[in-house]
A and B are shown apart, each in its own frame.
Chain A
Amino acid sequence: MKSRIRPSGRYEGLIIGVLFLCAVVSVLTTAGIIITLLRETIGFFREVSILEFITETRWTPLFDPKHFGILPLITGTLMITAGAALVALPVGTATALYLSEYASDGVRRLLKPLLEVLAGIPTVVYGYFALTLVTPAIRSLFPETNIFNAAGAAIVVGIMIIPMVSSLSEDAMTAVPRSLREAAFALGATRREVSTGVVLPAALSGISASYILAVSRAIGETMIVTLAAGATPRLTLNPLESIQTMTAYIVQVSLGDTPFGSIEYRTLFAVGMGLFTLTFTLNIAGALITRRYREVYQ
């Protein structure tokens, strides 16, 4: 068979090489994040002991006397996350269940775009919402509430992650084979019994993956907490007080004029490292669970 010149096939190898490089960018991004965070974090821990970092209860790197205890930022972050989960997990799950088991096609066609709109709203807009609408409402119920408080921010972070919970959970629920539902209906089960007795358990791993990913998203959320939760790192569990999260602290530092290479500058990377580690672990867990349930039904 004679070999002919193939004008359009000549550069195949070159093209594949370029495409491969595109895919490598994503690896470089991850490597870049880890190296950047690690380098400055190591610099940070040359000056501050790890013991102080995790046991000290005050976080005041920006003024004297400096204290470097990350606990207040962690409790602040956890309070926001817990509050957001309290809002988003039940509402998101119920929404998913309604969309997958109850809604007619018409209703679904109307509601899903609305949820997509909710998911597409920029976080700074949610921050505005927390500050101008939700916090005043809380203050009218609890007058002692600070203008900046964990509760308002947490509720709005929760609203923000509802679409994430509902769409991922709904995916998991629609992946449940119809035959399972039909088997239950044929035994005389009502729609509620099918929903809670068949669909929810069968979709459980997918739903829990959606919870994990949504929680990770809440931990990393920045603008809502920067605008509405305050900038006072404080070891408290009172949601009506002003607090500070890890993300909000990072914003606070970068808004100021912190000199490059100073210890204040390095706190930014140390806190960033903590944030990255936390969300990274959750994301990997979520991805593994999602993959497992996909394997079950596909």
Chain B
Amino acid sequence: MKRRARREKDRIFKLFLVLALLAGVAALLLLLEEVLRKGLPWLDFRFLTSFPSRFPEQAGIKSALAGTLWLLGLTAMFAIPVGVGAAVYLQEFAGRNRPTAFLQLNISNLAGVPSIVYGILGLAVFVRALALGRSVLAGALTMSLLVLPIIIVAAQEAMRAVPGSLRDAAFALGATRWQAVRRVVLPAALPGILTGIILALSRAIGETAPLIMIGALTFVPFVPAGPLDAFTVLPIQIFNWTSRPREEFRLIAAAGIIVLLGVLLTMNAGAVWLRNRYQRRSES
């Protein structure tokens, strides 16, 4: 039999798979190398604490960083309670019927709606109809709607993973549904829910397009003092600098990218840390 040819084919096939895999990894490494090489020399304390400027050597990300933190805080405030609440309702209280199936399909579909469409919604509803203007509040509300499906899906999955036997035990002790959820299901699902929340918030601070839509400004030489102030965020600042033809602006864009990726990396490391901490606590 042509055993050798067959083995040869197998080897080539595996090589093809590995090469494909490496292509993705190589793209990631190339990107990181490019950004670090160009951006690191510009990244210093002055860059973090200066307002944007027409002169690249004087420009910084103070207002963008502040805007990102504002956006993060407000979005968390809206999206976490509503998202977890919706997940609890769907997973623990809703009947297994048509309306529930519709809600579920609606959520999975919302997760796939392009982010810029949320921007259009935010523009029409929050900026215009509710007259919040081009404020960080309008931005945070828009972002909350955008990340809601992520939180709901993750929280539902985490609660689904809690064994039914624990719910039975709670009910058999005379707990009401809500007591079983609050005292047994939610604590047991907490690590998974937290991971989902952090994932969602990472998405919120990395988004650009919806905030451009609702009119986050590209040149903001001040730090927002309240939720109704105008604002900018890191991704918009990076977008602005990248789209300028002058090479120096591309370099500080790279420096801004390093900061943004740094923030995201910290958040994700936080998620891993939280997950491990809770897992240890519930197992020891």
Contacts and interface: CB of A to CB of B under 8 A. Distances in A.
Contacts of B103: 23, 26-27
A122 B27 CA distance: 15
A115 interface: yes
A19 B124 contact: no
Q: How large is the interface on A (under 10, 10 to 19, 20 to 34, 35 or more residues)?
A: 35 or more
B121 interface: yes
Interface in B90-126: 90, 93-94, 103, 105-110, 112-121, 123-125
Contacts of A99: 21
A163 B177 CA distance: 38
A204 interface: no
B50 interface: no
A80 to B, nearest CB: 13
Interface string B10-37: 1001101110110111011011001100
A67 B23 CA distance: 42
Given A98-B17, A192-B14, A125 B260 contact: yes
Given A122-B208, A159-B24, A19 B113 contact: no
A128 B239 CA distance: 8
Nearest to B39: A128
B89 A91 contact: no
A192 B268 CA distance: 36
Contacts of A124: 206, 208, 235, 238-239, 242
Contacts of B23: 91
Contacts of A298: none
B268 A19 contact: no
Contacts of A23: 85-86, 89-90, 94, 103
B206 A122 contact: yes
Contacts of B207: 122-123
B115 A220 contact: yes
Nearest to A94: B20
B138 interface: no
Contacts of A12: 176-178
A192 B6 CA distance: 10
Q: How large is the interface on B (under 10, 10 to 19, 20 to 34, 35 or more residues)?
A: 35 or more
Interface string A191-212: 1100110000000000000000
Interface stretch (B41-49, B145-153, B162-170): B145-153
A16 B81 contact: no
A22 interface: yes
Contact of A122 (B94, B124, B253, B260): B260
Interface of B: 6-7, 9-10, 13-14, 16-18, 20-21, 23-25, 27-28, 30-31, 34-35, 38, 81-86, 88-90, 93-94, 103, 105-110, 112-121, 123-125, 128, 145, 148-149, 152, 176-179, 199, 202, 206-209, 212-213, 215, 235, 238-239, 242-243, 250, 253-254, 257, 260-261, 264, 268
Given A125-B260, A191-B14, 12 more contacts: A19-B86, A19-B89, A23-B85, A33-B113, A95-B21, A95-B24, A114-B25, A121-B206, A220-B115, A222-B115, A227-B239, A251-B213
Interface of A: 6, 8-9, 12, 15-16, 18-23, 25-27, 29-30, 32-33, 36-37, 40, 90-91, 94-95, 97-99, 102, 111, 114-115, 117-118, 120-129, 131-133, 159, 162-163, 166, 190-192, 195-196, 213, 216-217, 219-223, 226-227, 247, 250-251, 254-255, 260, 268-269, 272, 275-276, 279-280, 282-284, 286-287
22 contacts: A16-B178, A20-B89, A20-B93, A25-B86, A37-B120, A98-B20, A111-B21, A115-B24, A120-B206, A123-B206, A128-B250, A132-B250, A221-B114, A222-B115, A223-B208, A247-B116, A251-B116, A272-B116, A282-B112, A283-B112, A284-B109, A287-B108
